[in-house]
């Protein structure tokens, strides 16, 4: 997948590494930590940028140059501390989080790539419009879900190597979510459209599903009674999805074209589907 590269303002400048200081305030909003807003700045300049009203970045982070990286690349070392809203409304460049991310990772993401080496909190990818989020660890509840004031995920790709919590894909509207470790209960609840792929998920998947597809390898427990079995068929697009995920180097069991199609939620219009791969 081609990602837009942000404009570099000077050829000689490098990326930055920000390391969270232990004495930084507990409740820290990371929405301002974007590659584009720090691109082209020296570490000293970056440290003087305001992080929150009355707080300079340097008060909370140690700032170093990252000579190996281009200037549209920003690395955050957060450790186990969870900064909320990392990559909020980011529209290009690369944000790498070494450690964990808090709630609302990549909220309203418009472009670029976010890579989290650890896990993330609730509502990762809330309102995401485009771009790519990769989470190596586990994700919290409401992955790609509709945080207050935001719709669910609206586009782009959200990949979680670990497990996702409850209600992944809640009110998702477009885009792709793939979770290698499986999802919790109420997966795909009230989904409006889009695709969510996971080997397995918890109880009551697809409740209130309007359109869109849940692609699973195992039939979820306690499937809502408002899904009807439409039999086994071949779905060519699953092969395309498989190739796409492979190109993104995302590891999942192979997707066959053959799948059982469960149609629902009949209470919410009945235009959504749960595909059980292999039938």
Partner 1 sequence: MNQALTCPFCGLLCDDLGVESRAGRAEVTAAGCAQARALFPVPPQAQARIDGQAADWRAAAKAAAERLAAARRPSIAGLGCDLAGVRAALMLAERCDARVEHRHGAALAQELRATRRGGSLRTTLSELRNRADCVLFAGTRAAAHPRFFERCIEPREGLFGARQRRLILIGEAAQTAPESAALEHALAFPNAHLAEAVQLLRARLAGRRLDARHWHGIPIERFDALAAVLRAAHYGVAVWDAAELKPPHAELALRALYDLVAELNRDTRWAALPLGGNDGAAGAAAVCTWLAGRPPPLRYVHGAPQDALNADATDLVIWISAFDPQAAPPPDVPAVVLARADWRGGAAPAIFIPVAVPGVQRPGALVRLDEVPCLPLAAPAPADLPGVADVLDAVRAGLAGRSAHAAA
Partner 2 sequence: MLRLDRARVYDPVQGWRGQSRSLFIENGRMVADPGPQATVERVIDLEDAVVMAGGIDIHSHIGSGKVNLARTLMPHDHARTERAAALENGAWRHGGSGQATPTSWIAGYRYAEMGYTAAFEPAMLPVNARATHYTLADTPVIDKGAYVLLGNDDLFLRLLARGAEPQRLADYVAWMLARTRSLAVKVVNPGGISAFKFNQRALDLDQAHAYYGVTPRQVLRALARAVHDLGVPHPLHVHTSNLGVPGNVATTLATMEAAEGLPLHLTHVQFHSYGKEGPRGFSSAAEAIAEAVNRQPNLSIDVGQVMFGQTATASGDTMAQYANRRHAHPHAWTCIDIECEAGCGVVPFRYRDRNFVHALQWAIGLELFLRVRDPWRIFLTTDHPNGAPYTVYPQLMRLLMDRGYRNRMLDAVHPEVAAHSALRGLDREYTLEEIAIVTRAGPARSLGLRDRGHLAPGAVADLVAYRDDPDRDAMFARPSHVFKDGELIVRDGRLLAAPQGATLALEPEFDAAIEAQISEHYARHLSLRAEHLAVGAQELADYGGRAPLILPCTRHG
Closest separation between CB of residue 88 and partner 2, Å? 11
Minimum separation from the CB atom of position 150 to partner 2 (A): 8
| Closest alpha carbon to 225 in 266, 166, 185 | 266
8 Å CB contact between 107 and 127: yes
- Site mask, partner 1, residues 189-208, x = CB under 8 A? xx-------------x--xx
Nearer to partner 2, 141 or 151 (CB): 151
Closest Cα to residue 158, out of 124, 182, 183, 202?
A: 124
Calpha distance 152→145 (Å, rounded)? 4
**Alpha-carbon gap, residue 112 to 35, rounded angstroms:** 10
Q: Which stretch binds partner 2 (CB under 8 A): 40-48, 95-103, 147-155, 230-238?
A: 147-155
Least spacing, CB of residue 53 vs partner 2, in Å? 7
Least distance to partner 1, CB of residue 159, Å: 24
Question: Is residue 62 helix, strand or coil?
Answer: strand
Binding mask 14-53 for partner 2 (x = CB under 8 A): ---------------------------------------x
Check residue 151 for interaction with partner 2 (CB under 8 A).
Answer: yes
Q: Are 91 and 110 in contact (CB under 8 A)?
A: yes
Residue 116 and residue 143 in contact, taking contact as beta carbons nearer than 8 Å: no
Query: Secondary structure of the chain: what % helix, strand, coil (to 5)?
Result: 10, 30, 60
Q: Which of the choices partner 1, partner 2, none does residue 5 contact, using the CB cut-off of 5 to 8 A by kind?
A: none
> For the chain, how far is it from start to end, CA to CA, in angstroms?
30
Binding residues for partner 1 (CB under 8 A): 25-27, 29, 52-54, 84, 103-104, 121-122, 141, 146, 148-149, 166-167, 171, 185-186, 189-190, 204, 207-208, 224-229, 265-268, 270
Residue numbers of the site for partner 2 (CB under 8 A)?
Answer: 53, 148-149, 151
């Amino acid at each position: 997948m081609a990602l837009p590269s942000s404009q570099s303002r000077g050829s000689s400048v490098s990326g930055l590494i920000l390391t969270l200081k232990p004495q930084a305030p507990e409740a820290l909003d990371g929405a301002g930590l974007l590659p584009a807003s720090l691109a082209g700045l020296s570490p000293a300049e970056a440290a003087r940028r305001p992080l929150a009203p009355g707080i300079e970045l340097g008060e909370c982070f140690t700032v170093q140059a990252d000579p190996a990286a281009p200037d549209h690349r920003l690395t955050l070392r957060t450790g186990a501390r969870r900064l909320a809203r990392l990559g909020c409304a980011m529209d290009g460049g690369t944000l790498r989080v070494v450690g964990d991310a808090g709630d609302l990772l990549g909220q309203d993401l418009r472009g670029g790539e976010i890579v989290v080496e650890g896990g993330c909190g609730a509502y990762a990818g809330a309102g995401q419009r485009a771009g790519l989020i990769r989470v190596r660890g586990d994700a919290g509840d409401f992955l790609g879900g509709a945080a207050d004031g935001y719709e669910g995920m609206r586009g782009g790709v959200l990949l979680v190597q670990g497990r996702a919590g409850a209600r992944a894909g809640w009110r998702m509207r477009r885009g792709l979510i793939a979770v290698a470790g499986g999802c919790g209960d109420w997966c795909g609840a009230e989904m409006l459209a889009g695709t969510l792929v996971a080997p397995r998920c918890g109880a009551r998947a697809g409740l209130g599903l309007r359109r869109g597809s849940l692609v699973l390898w195992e039939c979820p427990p306690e499937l809502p009674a408002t899904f009807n079995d439409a039999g086994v068929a071949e779905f060519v697009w699953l092969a395309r999805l498989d190739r796409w995920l492979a190109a993104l180097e995302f590891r999942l069991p192979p997707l066959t074209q053959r799948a059982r199609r469960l149609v629902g939620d009949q209470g919410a219009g009945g235009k959504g589907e749960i595909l059980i791969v292999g039938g």
